[in-house]
């Protein structure tokens, strides 16, 4: 029973982690998408067009976009992870520091 509960917790946790990351793809501008290795003008447009029809629920949904395969999905995951790490390590400035 304990193993089953822990398995469900693990699956739910991983789903939530990836779910938050895929939200970044659903909100990213064309310029943001083009900063990812392997995404140029045409693929950024294709991703934006596809997400207008239906938001991406997971990274596998991205592979349905023409020209997007597993390698590019891997690049997107890495890029989002790096951006999230940068956001969490940014120093917050207080009013005193800004003066």
- Looking at residue 12, its pLDDT comes to 44
pLDDT, tens digit only, all 99 positions of the chain: 766 655 545 444 444 444 347 888 999 999 999 999 999 999 999 999 999 999 999 999 999 999 999 999 998 888 876 665 666 665 555 555 555
- Domain 22-85 belongs in CATH node 3.40.50.720: no
pTM over 0.75? The answer is no
- Other CB atoms within 10 Å distance of the CB of residue 84: 14
Q: What is the pLDDT of residue 77?
A: 86
Domain segments of the chain as ranges: 22-85
> DSSP secondary structure string, 12-72?
HHHHHHHHHHHHHHHH--HHHHHTSTT--HHHHHHHHHHHHHS---SHHHHTTSTT--HHH
């Amino acid at each position: 029973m304990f193993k089953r509960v822990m398995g469900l917790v693990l699956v739910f946790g991983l789903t939530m982690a990836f779910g938050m990351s895929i939200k970044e793809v659903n909100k990213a501008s064309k310029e943001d998408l083009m900063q990812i290795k392997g995404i140029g003008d045409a693929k950024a447009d294709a991703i934006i067009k596809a997400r207008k029809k239906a938001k991406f629920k997971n990274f596998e949904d991205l592979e349905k976009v023409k020209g997007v395969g597993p390698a590019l999905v891997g690049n997107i995951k890495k890029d989002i992870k790096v951006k999230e790490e940068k956001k969490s390590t940014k120093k917050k400035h207080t009013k005193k520091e800004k003066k």
